[in-house]
Amino acid sequence: MTDAVRYAREGTLAVVTLDDGKVNAMSLPFFRALQAALDRAEADDPAAIVITGRPGVFSAGLDVKLLPTLPAAELRETLLTFGRTLLRLFTLPLPTVAAVSGHAIAGGALLAFACDLRVAADGPFRLQLNEVAIGLTLPTWAIVLACAAVPPRWHTEAILHARGYAPAEALARQILDRVVPPERLLEAAREAAVPLAGLDHGAYGGSKARLRATAVRLAMDRLDEESPGRLPAKQP
């Protein structure tokens, strides 16, 4: 783990905090650090995991300034690790709650979607899959995560139309489970975790795996072919 991804045990819960001092941009070191946090959580066996960001920013997604500078092999490894990491979180046998502390854009939105519940801070923040708007085709694994979190009625506008949502709009569409004042975010996330923590862990993990198995298998089958070694010409 790095200082930008911190793991802490708080009573029966584990809290993973993302804070790089900026926008929590995602890169290969970020994904490795998040994987290390998930390793620790599985070994630690908390009742539930809360994943949060720094005030005002959950994550702005992939580091779009860094990606075009990477050699083809490193870019491909980054994109493969991106998908594998979030699919691992999506199927983690422990209950997971995203405490969305601010903007959650692209990969940041997908990180929230990979969790079982989403509690968000109220404010002038945006939740958005903006890939189509910037000329990127979403990989199957990302669509799987989005479809699990976004009710079917809103799939077209959220995934294809790159609609950005204020917290209240996302709550109205049931993409978020709760919106609270920023100072109450972690408290509300812990409250959301309590009923999950009371469930049988073995049954929870096994049922989650079966619930998501077909979609995850499809995503993993396509991950390799959908992780290019170069980016399309159009970039933000």
Residue with the two structure tokens 């994943």 = 51
Catalytic residue list: 131
- For the chain, what is the HEC assignment? CCCCEEEEEECCEEEEEECCCCCCCECHHHHHHHHHHHHHHHHHCCCEEEEECECEEEECCECCCCHHHCCHHHHHHHHHHHHHHHHHHHHCCCCEEEEECEEEECHHHHHHHCCCEEEEECCCCCEECCCHHHCCCCCHHHHHHHHHHCCHHHHHHHHHCCCEECHHHHHHCCCCCEEECHHHHHHHHHHHHHHHHCCCHHHHHHHHHHHHHHHHHHHHHHHCCCCCCCCCCCCC
Rounded to whole angstroms, how far apart are CA atoms 123 and 179? 9
Residues in the chain: 236
d(CA 130, CA 125): 14
